[in-house]
Amino acid sequence: MSRSTYRHAAFLNCEFSIATLIAERGVNAVPILAYQPEITLTGDALACIGTPAAITALAQVSGQGKAFLARFIDAAHRWPLASIPALAELLASNNKDSGMLSACLSNLLLANPEQVAQLLPWMSGAAQTQVQDLIARVSGPVELADEADLPLVLVSPPWLQKKKKREAAVLALEPQVLAPVLDLTDEEKKRWLALNGWEEKRYQAAAKNMNTLANELGFQIYQSGNRKSQNETAAIAIRNRDTQGLIDAWKAQLEQTSWSNFSMRFTSLLPDEMALALWNSLSTHQCSGEEYMVAKFGEAALPGLINAVRSRPTELTNVWSHVGASELAPLIARAYLKLKTLRSEAQQWLCKYPQHSAIGLIPAALGKKGEAKDCATSALRMLATQGHEALIMQTGEAYDDPEVTDALRAMLDEDPLDRFPSKISKSPDFYQPAGWRRPLLKASKKALPDSALEHLGTMLRFPVSEGLYEGIHQVKQACDPDSLADFAWDMFSAWLFAAAPSKEGWAFMSLGLFGTDDTARKLTPFIRAWPGEAQHQRAVNGLEVLNQIGSDVALMLLNGIAQKVKFKGLQDRAREKIAAIAEARELTIEELEDRLAPDLGLDENGSLRLDFGDRQFTVSFDETLKPFVRDMDGTRLKDLPKPKKTDNQELANEAVNIFKLLKKDARTVAAQQVVRLEIAMCQRRRWTPELFELFLVRHPLVRHLVQRLAWGVYLVDDDSTHGGKLVDCFRVAEDGSLTTAEDDEYTLPQGDNVRIGIPHALELPEHQAAGFGQLFADYELLQPFVQLGRDTYSLTEQERESRELLRWKGAVVPTGRILGLANKGWRRGDAQDGGAIMDFIKPIDRRLGFSLSFDPCIIVGMVDEYPEQTLETVVIDDGQYYWQRTEERKPFTIVDDIVISELIRDMEALRA
């Protein structure tokens, strides 16, 4: 039987077959088992075979989940002498999981120092280098910093001092009274109260029959063994207006079923007083329609909302974020301190309703010790840093008691170094920094000693809800940034190797505190892969790490995930991050993207000089932003030459590394920038002349694309950033000057209504298109995307008046082509039951989009299940499932000709 047969044979999932294979072949069974090491039986078998090949197979799938990682770790510890050469070879090959494998290899080298010399001859030269580098690292630095040179917090940390903090007075205060507010626009309130089409039909049926109404409320009709449905009991209670009877029936149902959901929206068919009593009593249980109750009853619904938020804060973010009430403040403060996934939303609420927050939190902050006090104190200190300190003190003064104001003042003014938790957790087992690259002091380049590393780890474990602990700021100020980034990466790798325990997530998030551009580059492949390994939340946390690093490269990588990634859930969260950054800077997302385009270290002319000593090379870019080099004579070379013996080795090696990173970053940014400009053309985006000059013409990198396009001058009626009337065209020359299609000098017209944009083929006059086409050909300039010769299309008059397009209905296309629509601004529709995706959506604006449906479907994680799809219709709606739609389908007359042309172009390419 051939190996390819073994690879697909069912015997790899059969204990008897695996046992027979090993009995017959011994260690020679490894190549066959290694075909599918992710299968439990083959993985377990490999773990019992102590050879480097077996360890290699296990290591290569160790990143696919906790079970795979645990199996690999157990095998590595069981067979250390086989694991050392195996891991060294993997590290030499730049494996994606190199950080985690490096942590494992470091541990093995520390545990087996005497045997390493015997193993080196069995390794390749590159693997030997990996081992020797790690041995040098784990052996410790030559020079450690003296205590006198260290920040005081690393020598004598406050949490180890014997002196006790002055105990604050415990005050028993009642909250002041402040009326709650419901922050809803008329449109939002209307939407919260409205029924969609699917609910409307059920609502009408429920209004005619008490048993149907009971069923819609959540009392399902069933009979299973000794369990009897409460539907009839509920129907009788509804008929008799017996509120307590209905509540009792619900509690009885909860005892009989594993899960039930009470639909509050259908209480609209009950008397108001009955509906409100049900809400305030049952909202602690699983419910739906909470927003309906709040919109309808306002302040009267507050007791029920408090109960619901106490038990289900995460589910109700979209509701409590609109309600300002002092009674909610303690719950939101707890979310801020204790619930990482809600921290941002909780902070927004506290800052949105600062007076309600202060009134609701001061009693707990000045009360007895406990969680409530910790949460309230943390939230109030945060509010003080956000400009609300005077309001907090004013609220305290309303008690007319000096003891209250003194206690508040003392709480707010506490020394930042004394703001450490009362209970400090011990270091996790994976925190073994002696074997990691150590932070170096800026001044002396000496490394932090073991004791300082232990204190640093303690500070990193402190909660960050009140902001970063002051001691961390002192460490960042004292230490070299690159060495801190190396330390953080090694800690992250050790955390991964320890199966990434979620409660120790600080080790991961520390990348955001200490990370650099290189950190962002190394982390991004992990973020993109994690959702496919059932680690969506870890990937989302990775987005926050990129956001915290905050450099141009980190934000470029974050924006790249927002634009294109296989996993829609991750892409949506990345888009939310980008939108939040834009909002914080008071920019649109498009305006932010102008500012996110990195310069990649290029000079003002868009080039880069690489110095080898006697030889120099100049980097430039082609129409796809792929970098290339020219020699000193201006000849274009295939690649950057390798250094010669006559070159300055230090300069040459540095230049090679710079070019290597440049190519990597250029690959990431190229697709973003090309697509960004093409979308700007299709969506008719415009720039003011000043912004056009700043972000496009003079940008060191983007200028290489700008010079290959025809540009238009538009007149707009107001301050519009889109549309306008095309009045002239020009191009940007290599030196940044402007010329006409005849290559004559051109000057932009003046005026507040002048805008610059990329004209679409539909609006570009024929003589201009021909002129620029010839000019670009003369200068041998290829366009980054098709502009001048772009295919254009239109709808028939009947199609424009219709509410669905049928011209592609019935066409059978490869599934891969539909997935490829993601490269043209489309996104996958939401997955339905079983992970089925049945439509793709192309946004038109923030509210509407084109929706393309197809059959049978694309299954998430199994895209090859159906290799072909049959196209159905294209409609304009809000992109929701038909039972969730809040907008009717729109006629195609609402969309301009360019958007229509681009839609048809996408569809024609789909079935080509």
Q: Above 60 in pLDDT, residue 1?
A: no
Q: Cα-flanking dihedrals φ and ψ of residue 415, to 5°?
A: -55, 125
pLDDT for residue 176: 92
Choose among 433, 34, 365, 18: nearest CA to 172. Answer: 365
CA distance 234 to 761: 66
Rounded (5°) CA angle 160-166-168: 130
Residue 615: other Cβ atoms inside 10 A: 18
Of 103-117, 666-680, 720-734, 884-898, where does mean pLDDT reach its minimum? 884-898
Q: Which of 364, 391, 387, 390 is nearest to 377 (CA)?
A: 364
d(CA 674, CA 784): 6
- Mean per-residue pLDDT, 447-455: 95
Neighbour tally for 420: CB within 10 Å: 19
Q: Look at residue 308 and tell me whether its pLDDT is greater than 50.
A: yes
SS3 721: coil
**DSSP bridge partners of 630:** 618, 636
For residue 262, the SS3 value is strand
Indicate the SS3 state at residue 22.
helix
* Residue whose token pair is 């600080």: 506
Which H or E run includes 100? helix 98-111
pLDDT digits (tens, 9 = 90+) for 552-570: 889 889 988 988 888 888 9
Residue pair 30/54 in contact by the 8 Å Cβ criterion: yes
Please state the rounded mean pLDDT for residues 230-245. Answer: 91
Residue 414 CA to residue 419 CA, distance in Å, equals: 7
Please report, for residues 824, 850, 852, 855, 881, the alpha-carbon distance to residue 877 in angstroms, rounded to integers and kept in the order given: 19, 7, 11, 19, 10
pLDDT greater at residue 187 or residue 739: 739
Three-state secondary structure call for residue 555:
helix
Mean pLDDT of 843-862: 86
For Cα atoms 618, 622, 625, give the angle at the middle one, nearest 5 degrees.
95
Whether 832 has a pLDDT exceeding 90, the answer reads no
At residue 883 the predicted structure's pLDDT band, cuts being 50, 70 and 90, is: very low
Instruction: Please count the other Cβ atoms lying within 10 Å of the Cβ belonging to residue 680.
Output: 19
Mean pLDDT of 80-107: 82
CA distance 648 to 559: 38
d(CA 809, CA 853): 9
Q: Is 288 helix (H, G, I), strand (E, B) or coil?
A: strand
Residue 869, class by beta-carbon neighbours within 10 Å (0-12 exposed, 13-18 middle, 19+ buried)? buried
Domains of the chain: 3-138 (no CATH), 184-321 (no CATH), 326-414 (no CATH), 443-594 (no CATH), 608-778 (no CATH), 797-911 (3.30.310)
Which amino acid, residue 467? G
Q: What string of DSSP letters covers 771-800?
A: HHHHHHHHTT---SS--TT-------HHHH
Average pLDDT over residues 307-315: 90
- The span from the CA of 831 to the CA of 416, in Å, is 47
What phi and psi values does residue 227 have, to the nearest 5 degrees? -90, 125
**Does the bond joining 856 to the residue before it have cis omega, within 30 degrees of 0?**
yes
How many C-beta atoms lie closer than 10 Å to residue 499's C-beta?
Answer: 16
Say what the pLDDT of residue 2 is.
44
Q: What is the 3-state secondary structure (H, E, C) of 327-395?
A: CCHHHHHHHHHHCHHHHHHHHHHHHHCHHHHHHHHHHHHCCCCCHHHHHHHHHHHHHHHHHHHHHHHHH
Q: Please state, for a pLDDT cut of 70, what percent of the chain lies above it.
A: 94
Helices 125-138 and 98-111: crossing angle in degrees, nearest 10, is 70
The pLDDT score that the predictor gives to residue 556 is 85
Reported confidence tier of residue 786, pLDDT bands at 50, 70, 90: very high
- Which of the four pLDDT bands, split at 50, 70 and 90, describes residue 439? very high
The answer to whether the pTM exceeds 0.75 is no
Tokens of 150: 């260290």
Mean pLDDT of 78-102: 83
Residue 364 has a pLDDT of 93
The alpha carbons of the chain give a radius of gyration, in whole angstroms, of 32
CA distance 180 to 171: 25
H or E element, residue 711: strand 711-715
CA angle 617, 621, 626 (to 5 degrees): 110
For residues 327 and 357, what is the distance between their CA atoms, to the nearest angstrom? 9
109 vs 475, more confident: 475
Banded pLDDT at 642 (limits 50, 70, 90)? very high
Q: Which two tokens stand for residue 793?
A: 């299309």
What mean pLDDT comes out for the span 465-471? 80
Query: Distance (Å, rounded) from C-alpha 276 to C-alpha 272?
Result: 6
Helices (H), 438-535: 450-460, 470-478, 481-497, 506-514, 517-529
Mean pLDDT of the chain: 88
Do 72 and 82 contact (CB within 8 A), yes or no?
no
Contacts of residue 878, Cβ cutoff 8 Å, sequence gap at least 6: 847, 848, 849, 885, 886, 887
DSSP state, residue 433: G
Cβ-based neighbours of 503, under 8 Å, separated by 6 or more? none
User: Which residues lie below 8 Å from residue 98, measured CB to CB, with a gap of 6+?
Assistant: 90, 91
* pLDDT greater than 50 at residue 457: yes
Residue 4: pLDDT band by 50, 70, 90 thresholds?
A: very low
Mean pLDDT of 348-374: 93
792 exposed, middle or buried (CB, 10 Å; 0-12, 13-18, 19+)?
Answer: middle
Q: Is the pLDDT of residue 226 over 80?
A: no
CA distance 538 to 535: 5
- Percent pLDDT > 90 in the chain is 52
Confidence of residue 438 (pLDDT cuts 50, 70, 90): very high
Q: Which residues contact 780 (CB under 8 A, 6 or more apart)?
A: none
Q: Name the pairing type of β-strands 608-611 and 616-621.
A: antiparallel
Report residue 341 as tokens: 């996934």
- Residues 159 and 856: their CA atoms lie apart, in Å, by 62
pLDDT of residue 629: 94
